[in-house]
Structure 1
Amino acid sequence: MANPCWIAWTGRSRTMPNALTSPDSSYENRIRPVLRNCAVWAYHKTYARRANYECERIALSLLDGSGIAPALLHSDGATLTHTIGHCPGTPLDQLPDAQRQAALPQLFGLIRKLQSIPAAGVGPLADPPSTRAGTGADTWRSYLAAKLPQRIGAVRGPAKAVSRLRDALADGLTQLEPRLPCGLLHHDLKPANVLLGGTGQLTLVDFDQAKWGPAVSDLGKLAWRFDLWRRPAALTGLRTTFPEVMLPALRFHSLLHMIGALDYYATFGTPSYLPHVHSALTHIERLTGAKLEVPHVRD
């Protein structure tokens, strides 16, 4: 018979067998609830990669007491496990679209608060300071330029379509503003990582990909995963909160996150990830006219 304490837990758990002994390239986390009086009190989150463990540790430490993210209660570097406080709430991906869209103004405000934390460089929080450049846009541009070859390598389709996407990305990289203020990025803003609490407040979870960079990067991911490119009114709301963000830069960063999804699938081939791949392909075609195909999984 099931333990009645576990029946009370209605959250979701992502599991990968042998997470602690997996190759560094196998990015998955293992999340287990910690119960107190038959209710979820916290979570043990174990990481397959130390870089993700460190990114989440640094981000949650920076956000301690802010109300933006859950509390980091304990860290165990030997097992790459954090104990993270439970935040009551419902992930936005489990709510009707109308509620997701209604949450956007508050979500824009949280992104602005993240950006108020001064950047220590660009790129992943876990990178040693000695490997980081300054916070100017040229360094962010250099960081993206270094990441593009691998991501573009996952793109598959007719030569003209691939060329069209490459040209769009090259133009976007070249046209980035000469100076972009950098702060803290969540870097994985999707409905599943935003919790709506009972009093209407939002909490961001899963900071294991956190980076230093400009707000337009988080906004580009949000514009894709919250389907803003088909919602002119929502894009107007975004521009009202972030008047400094130009649409070409927003489109470029959306495309970066989309081809990142293609690269992830090409690397791991996770069948459950296919809906995100098809979403990325649909949006790439909408934004660039390039009709691409599902990537081959790399050997």
Structure 2
Amino acid sequence: MNGIDGGVPPDAPEISTGQANRVWSVTAPTPYVLKHYGDPSRAANEAAALGLLADHGVPGPRLLAANTDTTPPWTAQTLIRADPTPADRFLDELAEPLAAAHRIPGTHFGRLAGARRHRSWADYLHVRLTAYAVAAPALRTTARRLHQEVEASQHPIQPVLLHHDLQPGHLFREASGTRRLIDWELAAFGDEQSDLGRLAVRLGLDDPTPVLALVDRPDPTAEGRLHLYWLIHLLADAALSTDPVVRARAVARLSRSA
């Protein structure tokens, strides 16, 4: 788009929320959100996810421009003119846009772009579990147990688009009623239950089962898969979170589930 080159206009207010990325709201000539990434693979992944949403007619931010090869890598996205959905309405409002995303079929397993593609969902999970164990050697026993549970799972997985960072603050409802999910940099192709497991972690649930209400007709294996992914996402927080409070809570929940 003309006039967008990844540079920060001097009058653009920063709206970053303390994460690895820096984000600005740009007002002229056309309002947009400018996002600079600490990790180029996340920039490439979010750009790919926004393109996929547009291709399938799923509401979300529209990608206006991007360059993932510069330093820093960046994307420019349409500004969502709405407030985040209130926490007490989040699950009710989330069901429709999440179902729309989960109807988008995947071409492989794992991140959309900027990272390794995996031959199977189990392969992707094993790689993630290995990374968590390396980052947190004290949790290797937990990682080993989850490796075994992944290996024992026999449910065939057809990959679909996952947001993989569902939480209050990432869902907006416009005055027209259109609901839009933002922040797609962690998007992946995989089992839809993994999105729900991650959501249960972000909501601080001690039992992930309530989020199954987001699925119209869960199959008989859904609850077991959800519980497994919930534990895997807890392990991710316990091993990788930079917030000591988040890390401690994840360790505590893993201990209670052992």
Task: Give the counterpart of 2:45 among 47, 55, 58.
Answer: 55
Structure 1 residue runs of 4 or more that deviate by more than 6 Å after TM superposition:
none
> Are the equivalent residues in 2 in contact too, given 1:111–1:215 (CA < 8 A)?
no
Please, what TM-score do these two structures have when normalized by structure 1? 0.70
Deviation string 1:232-289 (CA, Å, 9 cap, x unpaired) is 6x34514544335522211111111111122223xxxx4xx23322332343234x14
Output the amino acid matched with 2:21: N
Conserved? CA contact 1:229–1:235, under 8 Å: no
Q: Is the 8 A contact 2:162 2:192 kept in 1?
A: yes
Deviation readout 1:10-56 (Å, 9 max, x if unpaired): x832468xxxxxxxxxxx2110110148xx92111111222111101
1:93-120 deviation digits (Å, cap 9, x = unpaired): xx3x4223xxx24423323222222211
**Native 8 Å contact 1:75 1:81 kept in 2:** yes
Could you tell me how far apart the structure 1 residues matched to 2:221 and 2:175 are?
Answer: 32
CA distance in 2, matches of 1:178, 1:70: 33
Instruction: Answer yes or no: is 1:211 the counterpart of 2:188.
Output: yes
Q: Does 1:82 align with 2:82?
A: no
User: Using the alignment, how far apart are the partners of 2:103 and 2:89 within structure 1?
Assistant: 27
Distance change (3 Å), C-alpha of 1:85 and 1:142:
same
Change in 2 beyond 3 A, CA 1:12/1:174: same
| Amino acid in structure 2 at the alignment position of 1:210 | A
Larger Rg: 1
CA deviations over 1:141-197 (Å, ceiling 9, x no partner): 01211221220234466xxx864x346413421232331111111111122322243
Q: What is the aligned length?
A: 245
Identity %, equivalent residues? 23
1:176-231: CA deviation from partner (whole Å, max 9, x where unpaired): 23311111111111223222434554321111111111101111101221245458
Structure 1 gaps, min length 5: 17-27, 290-299
Choose between structure 1 and 2: higher helix proportion: 1
Question: Counterparts of 1:149 and 1:236 in 2: how far apart (Å)?
Answer: 27
1:252 aligns to 2:228 (yes or no):
yes
CA distance in 2 between partners of 1:170 and 1:141 (Å):
9
Aligned twin of 1:132: 117
Alignment check: 8 A CA contact 1:108 1:241 kept: no
Q: Give, as a single letter, the amino acid of the residue that structure 1 aligns with 2:125.
A: L
User: Contact between 2:111 and 2:117, CA under 8 Å: does it hold in 1?
Assistant: no
Partners of 1:111 and 1:218 within 8 A in 2: no
Return 5+ residue gaps in structure 2 as ranges: 1-10
Q: 1:49 to 1:110 in 2, by over 3 A?
A: same
Seen in structure 2, the aligned counterparts of structure 1 residues 155 and 84 have a Cα distance that, compared at 3 Å, is same
DSSP 3-state at the match of 2:196: helix
Q: CA RMSD in A?
A: 3.0
Which structure 2 residues correspond to residues 137-286 of structure 1 after superposition, within 5 A? 139-155=120-136, 163=141, 165-166=142-143, 168-198=145-175, 200-230=177-207, 234-235=210-211, 237-238=213-214, 240-243=216-219, 245-265=221-241, 270=242, 273-286=243-256
SS at structure 1 position matched to 2:16 = coil
Alignment of 1:61-72 (within 5 A): 61-64=51-54, 66-72=57-63
TM-score (norm 2): 0.80
Q: Which residue of 1 aligns with 2:26?
A: 34
The amino acid of 1:73's aligned partner reads L
